[in-house]
């Protein structure tokens, strides 16, 4: 858990007391949705909102299956300073030109009001309203939160040590060479700071390439700078300090000052204004992309997911904790893009997710939070079939591959449906974490597909989205 100092903790407590008082009149649940780049955050929120608004047939979502939800409506969000999640635009992109919408680059919110009939005790049959605020934010920002507990020297040491190990070493060569050439305790200058920050940023961006798919890449705003691009708070880089502390007007002192400014101006406001107000959290995980990139990417993803939980305040909410320090009492880890596999491998994808999040889950459950891992597809882009080849039946998936995707020696142009044998995940994922040679010659390559043909006025196809929604909000609609 991140400790933010007495002043900020007092402010958070005051805000929690105000929110607790408001909830007595208008019960509100704040749901955070995050995940690293290309994990499917935008599609998840769009599908969730659409399913609630259209009363999609979600048999596992009990309030809806029991017919107790009277109506769901969009309402203006409470904070006029936060961009609204553009639900309508994303739905039109998915169902019109059949394109995947642009990913999350900034924080946004959308509010739903859910009118339902209570099913609890003497309140049975009474109509109540739950306000659901959905907060979308980049997972890269989440991975910044552990920086609050690190000094510049410690962060520099960790960053440089990681960069010198494969597969990062080859990607970091230009930046590491430039770092070795400077004198950290010599007089610092703006030109040198910008040169090193630029090379460091290029290194971080190269780590995010889908051929590498590394996950632990703080500072997150170096990848998604937004309106802060070019500011001094984003113009710093790690230096090899050899155990010494920055001092005077040295380059190291300049870098340290900007590192602290980054925490104060970027990380802390995000934590205090948004993250610390959440009640429940969805963490979307693109495990298939990590498998595509190899054992190093999978191990790095496991490390990133463990770091994620260090930023949370997990735990069950008593009356006192609800008043003084809101806790995240339910966390859903969701392995996305289950539709890229045949259903016979869905349990194996979930087993892989459990292995990836094992440390994170144990930590959250120890604190009293409920945690659920699930393999899902927010918007199902494929259907299943069986293909007979040389007398052997193969479980396949059918969909329209994205232009440029390859399978079986063929490159697709995005114009036609094809049947693809997606291969199988191992029954026991443990072997996938056995080191650089963990895959033992296995080539895990999963074809990416265009969105399905879909009517925006009707229910959208999915895999286990209703299970996710039941876990996240079902108890609050009892």
pLDDT digits (tens, 9 = 90+) for 333-372: 999 999 999 999 999 999 999 999 998 888 888 788 899 9
Please state, in angstroms and rounded to a whole number, the distance separating the CA atoms of residues 93 and 101.
Answer: 6
pLDDT digits (tens, 9 = 90+) for 361-391: 888 887 888 999 999 999 999 999 999 888 8
Q: Looking at per-residue confidence, does 431 or 111 come out higher?
A: 111
Kind and range of the H or E run holding 133: strand 127-136
pLDDT digits (tens, 9 = 90+) for 39-51: 999 999 999 999 9
Instruction: Assess whether 170 and 316 both reside in one domain.
Output: no
- 3-class secondary structure, 269: helix
Decide if pLDDT at 203 tops 60: yes
Domain boundary among 269, 287, 304: 269
DSSP letters spanning 85-130: P-HHHHHHHHHSS--PPPPP-S-EEEEEEEEEE--SGGGTT-EEEE
Tell me, what CATH number does 355's domain have?
Answer: 3.40.50
Domain count, the chain: 2
End-to-end alpha carbon distance in the chain: 30
Domain boundary among 236, 253, 269: 269
Exposed e or buried b per residue across 182-209, where buried means at least 16 C-beta atoms within 10 angstroms of its C-beta: bebbeebeeebbeebbebbbebbebbbe
Question: What residue numbers bound the domain in which 155 lies?
Answer: 148-269
CB 56 within 8 A of CB 72: no
Dihedrals phi, psi of 47, to nearest 5 degrees = -70, -40
Instruction: Assess whether 238 and 279 both reside in one domain.
Output: no
Please state, in angstroms and rounded to a whole number, the distance separating the CA atoms of residues 444 and 300.
Answer: 17
Provide the pLDDT for residue 23: 56
Beta bridge partners of 452: none
Give 14's pLDDT tier (boundaries 50, 70, 90): low
Instruction: Assess whether 239 and 166 both reside in one domain.
Output: yes
Instruction: Assess whether 368 and 317 both reside in one domain.
Output: yes
Instruction: Assess whether 183 and 311 both reside in one domain.
Output: no
Residues 6+ apart with CB under 8 A from 29: 130, 131, 132, 133, 279, 280, 473, 476
Instruction: Assess whether 69 and 206 both reside in one domain.
Output: no
In a domain, 396, yes or no: no
Provide the pLDDT for residue 22: 55
Percentage, residues of the chain above pLDDT 70: 91
Give 241's pLDDT tier (boundaries 50, 70, 90): very high
DSSP state of 84: B
CB 462 within 8 A of CB 48: no
Give 434's pLDDT tier (boundaries 50, 70, 90): confident
Instruction: Assess whether 56 and 197 both reside in one domain.
Output: no
Provide the pLDDT for residue 12: 46
Which residue's structure tokens are 């539709």?
A: 339
The count of other CB atoms within 10 Å of the CB of residue 109 is: 18
CA 80 to chain centroid, in Å, comes to 24
In a domain, 408, yes or no: no
Please state, in angstroms and rounded to a whole number, the distance separating the CA atoms of residues 405 and 412.
Answer: 6
pTM score: 0.90
CB 426 within 8 A of CB 432: yes
């Amino acid at each position: 858990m991140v400790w933010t100092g007495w002043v900020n903790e007092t402010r958070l407590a005051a805000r929690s007391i105000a929110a607790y008082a408001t909830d007595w009149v208008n019960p509100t649940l704040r749901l955070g949705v995050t995940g690293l780049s290309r994990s499917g955050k935008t599609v998840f929120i769009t599908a969730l909102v659409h399913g609630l608004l259209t009363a999609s047939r979600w048999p596992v979502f009990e309030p809806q299956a029991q017919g107790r939800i009277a109506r769901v409506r969009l309402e203006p969000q409470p904070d006029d300073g936060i961009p609204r999640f553009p639900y309508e635009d994303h739905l039109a992109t998915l169902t019109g030109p059949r394109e995947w919408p642009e990913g999350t680059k900034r924080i946004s919110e959308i509010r739903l009001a859910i009118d339902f009939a209570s099913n609890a005790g003497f309140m049975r049959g009474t109509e109540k309203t739950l306000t659901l605020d959905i907060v979308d934010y980049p997972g890269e920002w989440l991975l910044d939160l552990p920086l609050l507990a690190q000094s510049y020297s410690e962060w520099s040491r960790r960053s440089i040590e990681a960069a010198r190990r494969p597969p990062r070493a080859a990607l970091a060569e230009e930046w590491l060479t430039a770092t070795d050439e400077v004198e950290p305790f010599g007089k610092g200058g703006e030109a040198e700071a910008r040169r090193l920050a630029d090379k460091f940023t290029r290194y971080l961006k190269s780590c995010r390439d889908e051929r590498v798919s590394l996950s632990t890449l703080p500072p997150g705003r170096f990848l998604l700078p937004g309106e802060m691009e070019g500011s001094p708070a984003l113009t710093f880089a790690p230096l090899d300090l050899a155990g010494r502390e920055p001092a005077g007007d040295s380059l190291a002192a300049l870098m340290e000052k900007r590192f602290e400014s980054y925490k104060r101006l970027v990380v802390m406001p995000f934590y205090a204004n948004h993250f610390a107000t959440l009640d429940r959290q969805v963490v979307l995980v693109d495990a298939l992309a990590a498998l595509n990139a190899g054992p190093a990417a999978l191990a790095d993803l496991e490390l990133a997911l463990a770091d994620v939980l260090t930023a949370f305040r997990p735990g069950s909410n008593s009356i006192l904790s609800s008043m003084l320090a809101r806790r995240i009492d339910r966390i859903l880890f969701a392995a996305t893009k289950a539709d890229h596999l045949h259903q016979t491998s869905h349990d194996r994808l979930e087993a892989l997710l459990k292995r990836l999040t094992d440390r994170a889950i144990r930590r959250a459950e120890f604190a009293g939070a409920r945690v659920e891992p699930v393999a899902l597809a927010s918007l199902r882009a494929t259907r299943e079939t069986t293909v007979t080849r040389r007398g052997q039946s193969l479980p396949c998936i059918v969909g329209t591959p994205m232009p440029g995707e390859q399978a079986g020696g063929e490159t697709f142009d995005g114009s036609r449906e094809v049947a693809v044998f997606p291969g199988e995940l191992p029954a026991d994922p443990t072997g996938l974490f056995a080191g650089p040679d963990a895959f033992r010659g296995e080539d895990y390559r999963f074809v990416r597909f265009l969105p399905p043909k879909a009517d925006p006025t009707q229910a959208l196809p999915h895999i286990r989205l209703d299970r996710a929604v039941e876990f996240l909000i079902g108890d609050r609609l009892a």
